C-alpha cells in the first residue's frame, strides 16, 4: 500500500498531465504485476465489490474516534468525502503495515463471507496500521467509486510510456469485461494477441460541441449530417453467434435490453455497430425520460418492455467480418452499414440513422431548428473522410445542439458539495411560483458558476440559513438565477409536476429579485410545445 | 413574582462584544469610542475607533495597518486596567506576536474573550496560557474532530524538504501564508542553509514593523525589480494569498506553489486552489486544543464564535457545558 499511497500523493500534488504520466509510468516500472493490474483496474473503474456497508463504517469510525455519530456525520458533510473524513478522524496507530495493495484488496474480497464482528475487527485493525494517506485509499477501496483525479486516458499514456506499446492498442486492451482478480498483466497488456475476449468493445469516438459557425467547416459536400438522437450511446457486438451491448460508461448492459437478442437472427455475424439506444414506438423516438425508466433497471418486465420499447439507432460500423475497420473513411463504413441493414424487417429493433440531405449551411440551420419537434437534441456533423478515433477529439466529429431553454428561478435550498467543492455550498434547489403564489421547488443544479461565485454564495448562505437538515440548508428565497435546460417533461414523481432535462446554472441574476422570476405556468407552457 | 434577569457582563451587540459597565468594546467591527484589541489581524483590529488598547507588541502593528494617527495605548500581559470598577487585563493567546485573550472582571464575575488562539508554542508569539473564568467566549475556526495538527517541527520539516527538492530541480518555491504571523513563523523556523528567503512586499513591510519594534526576525530579501533573478530558483519566496493570485507570481517561472493553512487538512480545499503542495499549518487551535483550552478555563458558560459554531456548541452541551453560539464578524483563517 505504501508505494500506491506514494503514487497517489504524487498524482494529487500536481495538476500537470505530463507530471502525472511520469509518476504513473515510474510506478508501473517498479510495481509488482498484481499491483499493476489492480492499479489499472481501480483507475478504470473496476473496483472490487463493496463488502462492508458504509453505514457501518461511519459507526465504527465514530466509535473508534470517541465521538457521537452525529458529530461524525457533520464532519463528513464538511469534508465532503466519506473515505477522507474517516481517514482524518481516526488517529494513526503506532505500527505501520507493509502490506501491498494486492494483499489489501484480496483481504477485502475475502470479507464477503465473514460476519459483521469479523469485518469490524479487520477494518479497525487495518485503520490502525496505516498513516492518513493510506487510510484514505483503503477507505476508497471500501466505499465506492475510486475517483481520484486520474482518467483512464492518463493510465493509457503511462502504460504506453512504460511498455513502449502504442496508446491506441493499450486503450483497446483496457476495454471490456476483464477481471483484475484473474487477469495477469502479461495477458492484458504485454501478450501479442491480448485477451481473446469476444465481448471486448472498442473505445467510443466522442464529438466536441461546435463553437463557431458551421460555415467555418468548409465545403458542405465534405460533411455528413445526422440527427443527434436523445438516447444513450451504445455499442452492439455480434461475434460467434453471441450478442453484447455496451454503454458508453463501459458497462455491459446486454441484459437490460433483451429486445436486441433478435438482432442475432437478422444481422450478419462478427460485426460491431455504434449507435444510440433509443426509446422508440410507432415510428417515432420517445422522450428521454421514457428511456430513463429502463436505464436503472437490471430486470425488465413485460409491462416496461411494452411501455418503453427500445431500438438501436445505428450510425456507425466499427468491425465487419471480424475485421477492425475503424481506420476506413466514415463514408466507406457508412456504405457497409447501409448494406447490412438493407433487408432487415421493420419489427426488428434496429434503424439506420438517416443522413440528412442539405445543400448549404443555412439550410442545415433551419433543419436543426426543428430538432425538438423530432425529439432530437440537434445535429451531428461527421467529416466523410474521417476515421473512427478514440475518445473526445476535435476536428472530424461535431455535435451541434439546439439552443437550451431558459428559466429564472429563486434558490430555496443549498447543500455542501463534494470533492474539490467540499465545504462550499454548490448544490442548489430552485423554485418558481405556482398559481397560488407559493414557491414550488422544481430543479436541482450544481454547475455553471465560478469558484469565486460559489464562495460568495457560500458566505451568503451561512448568513441566510433558515433551517438546517443535515447537510441541506433552507435559505431565504432571495437569490435569483437563470437556469438553462435541454428539455422538459411531465412527472408524477415531482411535486411541481415537471422534470427538467440537464438543468444547469447559466448565470446569477443579481439584477433580479424574487418578484421577477418565472412561474410554474410559464414552464408548463413549454410542455405543450 | 418577577425575577429580574441579570444583564450579561459582555453583551453581543451590533458593533461587537460590549462591556457595558466599562463602556468598552472588544474587537468591534463598527466604529466605537473605546476598543480593546486582541491582535493585529484585520478582522479583529478595524479602522475608525476613537481609542485603542492592545498589547505592547501590537501597537506598531496597529499603527502600520490602521494609520500613525490612531490613538493607541499598549499594555503588558497581566497588567490590570480599571475602568469604572471593571478590571481588564490581557493574557497571551499564542496566535501571533502581541495576540491576547482579554480577561474582564466585574463584581466577582470573570469573562475571557480569546480572540484567535493556538496552544502550541511557536517560538515567536508569547505562548498561550489558560485563564480561569466562568464565561469563555472562544473562537472555534477548526472546531471539528477532523482537524488535528501535527507539531510545528514536523510541518517545518515538510516545508524544508519541499524547498530542498525544488532547489535540486531548479525551480522557485513560493509559499503562501498570512503576512502577519504565519509568515514570520515560517521565516524563523525553516532551515536557512537551503537558500535565501525572499518576500512579497506585504510580508516584508510587516517584517520591518516587527524588527523596528525589537522583535528578532531572521534575514529576508524583499523582491523588487532589481532583485537578482538568479536567486529565484534557490529561494523560498514568502507570499500572501493575494500575491499568489496576482501577476506578481509570473516573476517566478515554473514555480512550485505551496499554501500553509489549517484548511489544507482537507483535500477538497487543497485541490480547489490548484496548489502543488498544501501544508497543514495553522495559527489556530485544533480540535484537541480547543477542547483542552475550554476545560482548563474551568468555565461553565461557553460562547463559540467564528467557525462551526452550531456543531461545536452542540458538542459542548453534550459534554456538560452551557454553550451557545455567538454571531460575530470575525473570519478566522481564510485562504484566498
Domain containing A121 — which CATH number?
A: 1.10.3260.10
Interface test with A, best of B43, B268, B332 (most A CBs within 10 A): B268
pLDDT at A529: 53
Which among A369, A401, A433 is the end of a domain?
Answer: A401
The whole-number average pLDDT for the span B118-143 is 96
| Number of structural domains in chain A | 3
Is B291 at the interface with chain A, CB within 8 A? no
pLDDT at A196: 62
Same domain for A252 and A363, yes or no, is yes
**What confidence tens digit (pLDDT) does each residue in B234-256 have?**
999 999 887 777 888 889 999 99
Contact at 8 Å (CB) between A199 and A176?
A: yes
Same domain for A107 and A243, yes or no, is no
Domain-located, residue A157: no
CA distance A455 to A425: 8
Listed residue (A450, A433, A451) closest to A441, CA to CA: A433
Domain-located, residue A148: no
Phi and psi (nearest 5°) for B116?
-100, 150
Same domain for A271 and A411, yes or no, is no
* Buried b / exposed e along B52-83 (16+ C-beta atoms within 10 A): bbbbbbbbbbbbbbbeeebebebbebeeeeeb
Q: Indicate if the pLDDT at residue B335 is higher than 70.
A: no
Could you tell me how many CB contacts below 8 A there are between chain A and chain B?
69
The mean-pLDDT minimum among A3-17, B155-169, B216-230, B321-335 falls in B321-335
Same domain for A436 and A385, yes or no, is no
User: Which residue of B lies nearest to A420 if distances are taken between CA atoms?
Assistant: B268
Cell of A398: 461535431
Domain-located, residue A524: yes
Domain-located, residue A156: no
On average, the pLDDT of chain B sits at 93
Domain-located, residue A160: no
* CB contact (8 A) between residue B267 and residue A85: no
Same domain for A442 and A502, yes or no, is yes
Three-class secondary structure of residue A227 per DSSP: strand
pLDDT band at B5 (very low <50, low <70, confident <90, very high): low
CA distance B261 to B182: 9
Is B320 at the interface with chain A, CB within 8 A? no
| Most confident of the ranges A180-194, A509-523, B92-106, B299-313 | B92-106
Judging by DSSP bridges, how do beta strands A405-416 and A425-433 pair with one another? antiparallel
pLDDT band at B95 (very low <50, low <70, confident <90, very high): very high
Same domain for A452 and A375, yes or no, is no
Which among A95, A120, A143 is the end of a domain?
Answer: A143
Three-class secondary structure of residue B296 per DSSP: helix
Domain-located, residue A85: yes
> Which 8-state DSSP code applies to residue A11?
H
* CB contact (8 A) between residue B145 and residue A85: no
Is B229 at the interface with chain A, CB within 8 A? no
Three-class secondary structure of residue B204 per DSSP: helix
CATH number at residue A509: 2.40.50.140
Same domain for A474 and A521, yes or no, is yes
- The per-residue pLDDT string of chain A (529 residues; one tens digit each, 9 = 90 and over) reads 899 999 999 888 877 888 899 999 999 999 999 999 999 999 888 888 888 999 999 999 999 999 999 999 999 988 988 999 999 999 888 778 889 999 999 999 999 889 999 999 999 999 999 999 999 999 999 987 677 778 888 888 999 988 888 888 888 888 877 889 888 888 888 877 666 678 889 999 999 998 888 888 989 999 999 999 999 999 999 999 999 999 887 788 898 999 999 999 999 999 999 999 999 998 899 888 889 888 878 788 889 899 999 999 999 999 999 999 999 999 999 999 999 999 899 889 999 999 999 999 999 999 999 988 888 889 999 999 999 999 888 889 999 998 888 999 999 999 988 777 777 899 999 999 998 889 999 999 988 888 889 989 998 998 898 888 877 899 999 999 999 998 888 888 888 899 898 899 999 998 889 999 999 999 988 886 5
Domain-located, residue A162: no
Range of the domain at A125: 2-143
Which among A108, A143, A178 is the end of a domain?
Answer: A143
Q: Which residues pair with A2 in a beta bridge?
A: none
* CB contact (8 A) between residue B146 and residue A78: yes
Question: For residue B162, what is the enclosing H or E element?
Answer: helix B152-169
Q: Indicate if the pLDDT at residue B210 is higher than 80.
A: yes
pLDDT at A318: 97
pLDDT at B6: 64
Is B266 at the interface with chain A, CB within 8 A? yes
- Partner-chain residue, chosen from B146, B276, B277, that has the shortest CB–CB distance to A79: B146
pLDDT band at B3 (very low <50, low <70, confident <90, very high): very low
CATH number at residue A231: 3.30.470.30
CA distance B76 to B92: 10
Same domain for A385 and A412, yes or no, is no
Domain-located, residue A182: no
Same domain for A356 and A397, yes or no, is yes
Listed residue (B16, B113, B11) closest to B329, CA to CA: B16
pLDDT at B1: 44
CA distance A484 to A507: 9
Three-class secondary structure of residue A43 per DSSP: helix
Same domain for A348 and A432, yes or no, is no
pLDDT band at B275 (very low <50, low <70, confident <90, very high): confident
Same domain for A376 and A432, yes or no, is no
pLDDT band at B87 (very low <50, low <70, confident <90, very high): very high
Shortest distance between the Cα of A465 and any Cα of chain B, in A, equals: 12
The whole-number average pLDDT for the span B42-56 is 95
CA distance A163 to A165: 5
Same domain for A240 and A136, yes or no, is no
pLDDT at B176: 93
Cell of A98: 507493509
User: What are the E-state strand segments in A331-459?
Assistant: 350-352, 355-356, 376-383, 391-392, 397-401, 405-416, 425-433, 439-445
Amino acid at each position: 500500500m505504501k508505494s500506491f499511497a506514494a503514487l497517489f500523493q504524487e498524482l494529487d500534488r500536481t495538476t500537470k498531465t505530463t507530471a502525472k504520466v511520469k509518476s504513473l509510468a515510474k510506478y508501473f516500472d517498479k510495481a509488482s504485476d498484481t499491483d499493476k493490474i489492480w492499479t489499472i483496474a481501480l483507475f478504470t473503474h473496476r473496483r472490487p465489490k463493496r463488502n462492508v456497508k458504509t453505514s457501518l463504517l461511519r459507526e465504527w469510525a465514530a466509535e473508534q474516534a470517541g465521538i457521537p455519530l452525529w458529530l461524525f456525520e457533520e464532519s463528513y458533510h464538511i469534508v465532503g468525502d466519506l473515505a477522507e473524513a474517516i481517514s482524518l478522524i481516526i488517529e494513526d496507530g503506532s505500527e505501520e503495515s507493509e502490506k501491498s495493495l494486492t494483499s489489501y484488496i484480496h483481504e477485502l474480497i475475502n470479507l464477503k463471507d465473514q460476519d459483521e464482528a469479523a469485518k469490524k475487527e479487520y477494518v479497525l485493525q487495518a485503520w490502525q496500521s496505516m498513516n492518513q494517506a493510506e487510510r484514505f485509499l483503503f477507505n476508497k477501496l471500501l466505499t465506492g467509486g475510486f475517483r481520484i483525479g486520474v482518467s483512464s486516458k492518463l493510465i493509457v499514456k503511462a502504460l504506453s510510456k512504460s511498455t513502449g506499446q502504442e496508446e491506441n492498442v493499450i486503450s483497446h486492451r483496457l476495454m471490456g469485461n476483464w477481471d483484475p482478480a484473474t487477469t495477469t498483466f502479461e495477458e492484458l497488456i504485454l501478450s501479442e494477441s491480448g485477451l481473446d475476449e469476444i465481448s471486448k468493445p472498442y473505445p467510443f469516438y466522442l464529438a466536441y460541441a461546435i463553437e463557431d459557425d458551421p460555415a467555418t467547416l468548409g465545403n458542405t459536400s465534405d460533411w455528413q449530417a445526422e440527427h443527434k438522437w436523445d438516447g444513450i450511446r451504445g455499442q452492439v457486438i455480434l461475434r460467434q453467434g453471441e450478442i453484447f451491448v455496451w454503454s458508453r460508461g463501459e458497462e455491459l448492459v446486454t441484459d437490460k435490453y433483451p429486445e436486441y437478442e433478435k438482432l442475432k437472427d437478422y444481422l450478419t455475424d462478427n460485426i460491431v455497430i455504434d449507435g444510440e439506444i433509443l426509446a422508440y414506438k410507432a415510428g417515432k423516438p420517445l422522450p428521454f425520460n421514457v428511456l430513463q425508466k429502463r436505464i436503472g433497471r437490471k430486470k425488465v418486465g413485460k409491462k416496461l418492455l411494452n411501455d418503453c420499447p427500445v431500438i438501436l439507432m445505428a450510425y456507425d460500423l466499427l468491425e465487419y467480418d471480424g475485421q477492425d475497420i475503424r481506420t476506413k473513411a466514415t463514408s466507406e463504413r457508412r456504405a457497409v452499414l447501409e448494406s447490412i441493414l438493407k433487408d432487415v424487417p421493420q419489427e426488428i429493433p434496429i434503424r439506420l440513422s438517416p443522413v440528412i440531405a442539405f445543400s448549404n449551411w443555412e439550410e442545415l440551420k433551419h433543419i436543426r431548428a426543428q430538432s425538438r419537434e423530432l425529439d432530437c437534441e440537434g445535429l451531428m456533423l461527421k467529416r466523410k473522410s474521417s476515421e473512427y478515433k478514440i475518445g473526445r477529439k476535435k476536428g472530424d466529429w461535431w455535435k451541434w445542439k439546439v439552443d437550451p431553454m431558459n428559466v429564472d428561478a429563486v434558490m430555496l435550498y443549498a447543500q455542501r458539495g463534494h470533492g474539490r467543492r467540499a465545504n462550499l455550498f454548490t448544490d442548489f434547489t430552485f423554485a418558481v411560483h405556482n398559481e397560488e403564489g407559493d414557491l414550488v421547488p422544481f430543479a436541482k443544479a450544481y454547475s455553471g458558476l465560478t469558484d469565486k461565485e460559489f464562495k460568495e454564495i457560500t458566505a451568503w448562505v451561512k448568513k441566510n440559513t433558515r433551517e438546517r437538515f443535515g447537510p441541506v440548508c433552507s435559505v431565504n428565497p432571495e437569490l435569483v438565477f437563470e437556469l438553462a435546460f435541454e428539455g422538459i417533461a411531465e412527472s408524477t414523481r415531482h411535486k411541481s409536476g415537471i422534470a427538467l432535462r440537464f438543468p444547469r446554472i447559466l448565470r446569477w441574476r443579481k439584477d433580479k429579485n424574487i418578484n421577477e422570476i418565472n412561474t410554474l405556468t410559464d414552464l408548463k407552457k413549454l410542455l405543450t410545445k | 413574582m418577577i425575577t429580574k434577569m441579570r444583564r450579561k457582563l459582555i453583551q453581543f451587540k451590533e458593533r461587537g462584544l460590549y462591556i457595558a459597565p466599562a463602556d468598552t468594546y472588544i474587537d468591534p467591527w463598527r466604529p466605537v469610542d473605546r476598543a480593546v484589541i486582541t491582535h493585529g489581524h484585520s478582522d479583529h483590529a478595524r479602522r475608525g475607533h476613537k481609542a485603542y488598547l492592545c498589547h505592547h507588541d501590537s501597537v506598531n502593528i496597529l499603527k502600520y495597518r490602521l494609520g500613525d494617527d490612531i490613538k493607541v495605548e499598549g499594555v503588558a500581559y497581566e497588567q490590570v486596567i480599571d475602568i469604572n470598577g471593571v478590571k481588564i487585563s490581557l493574557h497571551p493567546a499564542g496566535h501571533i506576536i502581541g495576540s491576547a485573550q482579554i480577561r474582564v472582571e466585574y463584581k466577582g464575575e470573570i469573562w475571557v474573550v480569546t480572540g484567535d488562539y493556538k496552544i502550541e508554542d511557536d517560538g515567536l508569539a508569547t505562548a498561550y496560557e489558560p485563564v480561569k473564568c466562568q464565561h469563555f467566549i472562544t473562537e472555534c475556526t477548526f472546531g471539528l474532530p477532523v482537524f488535528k495538527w501535527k507539531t510545528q517541527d514536523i510541518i517545518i520539516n515538510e516545508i524544508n524538504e519541499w524547498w530542498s527538492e525544488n532547489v535540486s530541480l531548479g525551480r522557485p518555491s513560493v509559499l503562501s501564508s498570512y503576512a502577519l504571523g504565519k509568515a514570520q513563523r515560517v521565516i524563523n523556523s525553516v532551515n536557512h542553509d537551503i537558500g535565501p528567503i525572499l518576500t512579497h512586499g506585504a510580508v516584508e513591510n510587516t517584517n520591518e514593523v516587527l524588527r523596528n519594534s525589537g522583535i528578532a526576525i531572521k534575514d529576508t530579501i524583499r523582491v523588487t525589480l532589481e532583485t537578482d533573478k538568479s536567486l529565484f530558483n534557490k529561494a523560498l519566496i514568502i507570499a500572501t494569498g493575494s500575491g499568489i493570485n496576482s501577476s506578481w507570481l509570473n516573476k517566478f517561472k515554473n514555480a512550485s506553489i505551496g499554501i500553509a493553512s489549517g484548511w489544507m487538512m482537507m483535500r477538497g480545499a487543497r485541490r480547489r486552489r490548484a496548489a502543488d503542495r498544501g501544508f497543514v499549518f495553522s495559527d489556530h487551535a485544533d480540535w484537541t486544543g480547543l477542547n483542552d483550552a475550554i476545560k482548563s478555563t474551568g468555565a461553565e458558560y461557553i460562547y463559540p464564535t467564528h467557525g462551526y459554531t452550531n456543531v461545536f456548541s452542540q458538542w459542548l452541551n453534550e459534554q456538560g457545558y452551557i454553550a451557545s453560539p455567538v454571531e460575530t464578524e470575525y473570519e478566522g483563517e481564510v485562504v484566498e
